[in-house]
A and B are shown apart, each in its own frame.
Chain A
Amino acid sequence: MSRTNNLNITNKKNGIDRKLKKNLWGYFFVLPEMVIFLIFVIIPILRGLSFSFLNYNVSGSTWVGLQNFADVFKDDIFWIALKNTSIYTVLVVPGGVGVALMLSWLIFPLSPKLQAFFKAAYYLPGVISGVVVALVWKWIMDPETGLLNYALSFIGLGPYPWLSHPDTALYSLVLIAIMGGQGAAVIIITANMGAIPASLYEAARIDGSSAWHQFRHITLPLLRPTLLYLFVVGMIGSYQVFESVYVLTGGGPYYSTTTIAYLIYSSAFDFFEFGKASAAATVLFVTIFILSLIQFYVFREDKK
């Protein structure tokens, strides 16, 4: 009796020891990542949120309540930037996903070798730095010596001052973004197309449905989660568009390409308005968060 009891206790103790040991090892292995994230990501995020309510000063910050937000919302340029960023996103994300979807649909039936070839070609521009890509487009879109206006002159168009006119600058940035190749989206879409059971298409074929019909009623609905992913990730990225603006237009002409991310950067590092920049960043964060939720909602509802 007492012997089995003892054994039970030691077993239990061993179990607790093992659990403790396991936990300690587990925490040990996450330690480097957690330290980096805590110090350089999580704390700065929290401080960034709190700066929104402070008048930051090296010698001591003062609490100003919602004053920074009032400053942001009173600023006409903020609303222009929000409008520009939204136009940019509404064109770049659906435009890019649309192009990628079409390319994927055309590529998918090809032989694996050809598929791999086109995917590699479409992905290549995506590995090159946004700064490099922007500089090349600056040269192509140069109003006097650029190749684009030269090419258009043959069909009697132009010359257009692509990046230096308020009517065209933002749309030039949209064009450059979509011309990024869409390789990553094509790779994701075709991979998910491969997961659609072939039997569905066979059944549809027996019913005599057209290729378009199959695309509309099998491919598209089953790709919904993939498209949701691409829309959300694309939206998050494009609401933060910065590099092409910084390199190509500096937000101009006449604020026509000032995006929220560029405005935040310039109020922080051109004007040193840290509180206002942080408040604008908080607004950007909330905007992105709400837009993500809306997209989840829209895509989920349609599922029925």
Chain B
Amino acid sequence: MMNTSNRLQRSPGIALAAMAKIAVYALLTAWALAILFPIYWMFLTSLKPGSMVLDVPPQLIPLKVTLQNFKEIFDTAPVARWFLNSVIVTVAVTSGALISDSMAGYTYSLIKPTGYRIFFFMILGCMMIPDQIRIVPLFIMLKDLNWYNTYAGLIVPFMGSAIGMFLMRQYMSTLPIELMEAAKVEGCNEFKIFTRIVLPLSKPVIAVVAITSFVGNWNGFLWPLILTSSTDMRTLPVGIASLQVQFVTNYGIMMAGAAIAAIPVILIFFMFQKYFAKGITLGAVKE
């Protein structure tokens, strides 16, 4: 705060300072409009009657709104099934990851058994290794397990996340250890301490991991692309990407498909905004 007021005071004269301030707001707003415009354009196009999509000059405001494109895409492509697949996969992966990440986070932050650092850094180290190295072996493994093109194949291998585990550990290391020691004196075992004390106190970080995992898996593309073969097993991103072949430049319908994939995460973003920022800073800001 002091910093800018100073920056502005330094300019010779109030008029200049005011102009500088306006320039700052103009720049910040221009960037926001530029990057949000594609999202607006997607929704706008998806709601236009097919005959108006290619109008010249293009209509930049909604003059005539219709759900015709949405109706058509649900009629001609298994979008409902893809949506369901995405929900099933995302919810299952997120729930599994929450369990394994929180349990591992508890070990690495509070129990710290002999040699825990080896496991901890091994899992974190996996983050440095590009996914491309795993695409062939995982594909072969899931084929051998008969999990190729099944829900199990899309879910089980991803039920743990290094980032999720790391965030859990970071947060749990800040919990007051006296509470757990007191519980131990009263005869609680580690499992009880974990479920009755640690988990309830970790609600904020659980929310952060749940939301980041949900969004990340909802948007996931490479793995469902590789691990599914039938149209019916596709998740939404893979499904709508495949629609390009069918609808080519029928942008009204393509944008309806895109909007269907985007709406759930946009809603989650608006509902749980504060957790997104928390998740980013928990992982990347040294305190």
A interface residue numbers (CB < 8 A to B)? 19, 22-34, 36-37, 39-45, 47-49, 51, 56, 99, 103, 106-111, 118-125, 127-133, 135-140, 142, 145, 147, 150, 179-181, 184, 187-188, 191-192, 195, 198, 201-202, 205, 210-211, 214, 225-226, 229, 236, 239-240, 242-243, 246-247, 260-261, 264-265, 268-269, 274, 277-278, 280-282, 284-285, 288-289, 292
Which residues of A have CB within 8 Å of B58? 147, 150
Identify whether the interface residues of B are mostly helix, strand, loop, or mixed.
helix
Asked if A51 and B126 make an inter-chain contact with CB atoms under 8 angstroms apart, the answer reads no
CB contact under 8 A between A106 and B136, given known A41-B126, A42-B122: no
Identify whether the interface residues of A are mostly helix, strand, loop, or mixed.
helix
- B240 at interface, CB cutoff 8 A: yes
Which residues of A have CB within 8 Å of B281? 187-188, 191
* Bound form: Cα–Cα A281–B133 in Å: 5
Give B24's nearest chain A residue, CB to CB: A106
CB contact under 8 A between A210 and B100, given known A41-B134, A106-B27, A192-B285: no
Asked if A240 and B132 make an inter-chain contact with CB atoms under 8 angstroms apart, the answer reads yes
Which listed residue, A23, A37, A99, A246, touches B241 by the CB 8 Å rule?
A: A246
Contacts A127-B219, A131-B258 known; 17 new A-B pairs at CB < 8 A: A30-B108, A33-B100, A41-B157, A56-B140, A107-B28, A109-B7, A118-B28, A123-B277, A127-B215, A131-B240, A136-B38, A145-B249, A147-B41, A195-B286, A229-B284, A268-B135, A268-B139
Asked if A132 and B32 make an inter-chain contact with CB atoms under 8 angstroms apart, the answer reads no
Which residues of B have CB within 8 Å of A40? 138, 141, 156-158
Asked if B276 and A127 make an inter-chain contact with CB atoms under 8 angstroms apart, the answer reads yes
Which residues of A have CB within 8 Å of B10? 210-211
* Bound form: Cα–Cα A225–B285 in Å: 10
* Bound form: Cα–Cα A261–B132 in Å: 7
Which residues of A have CB within 8 Å of B165? 33
* Bound form: Cα–Cα A36–B160 in Å: 7
Total A-B pairs, Cβ < 8 A: 295
Residues 167-198 of chain B, each 1 if its beta carbon lies under 8 Å from chain A, else 0: 00000000000000000000001110010000
Residues 1-40 of chain B, each 1 if its beta carbon lies under 8 Å from chain A, else 0: 1111111001000000000000010011001101110110
CB contact under 8 A between A29 and B194, given known A109-B1, A268-B136: yes
Asked if B160 and A191 make an inter-chain contact with CB atoms under 8 angstroms apart, the answer reads no
* Bound form: Cα–Cα A214–B10 in Å: 13
Chain B, interface size category, equals 35 or more
CB contact under 8 A between A33 and B103, given known A25-B113, A40-B157, A265-B135: yes
Which residues of B have CB within 8 Å of A280? 132
Residues 241-272 of chain B, each 1 if its beta carbon lies under 8 Å from chain A, else 0: 10010000101001101100110011011000
Which residues of B have CB within 8 Å of A239? 130
Residue of A131, A145, A284, A292 ringed by the most chain B CB atoms within 10 A: A131
Asked if A277 and B135 make an inter-chain contact with CB atoms under 8 angstroms apart, the answer reads yes
* Bound form: Cα–Cα A108–B190 in Å: 44
**Considering the complex of A and B, which 6 residue pairs feature the smallest CB-CB distances, nearest first?**
A26-B113, A109-B4, A40-B157, A129-B219, A33-B104, A47-B137
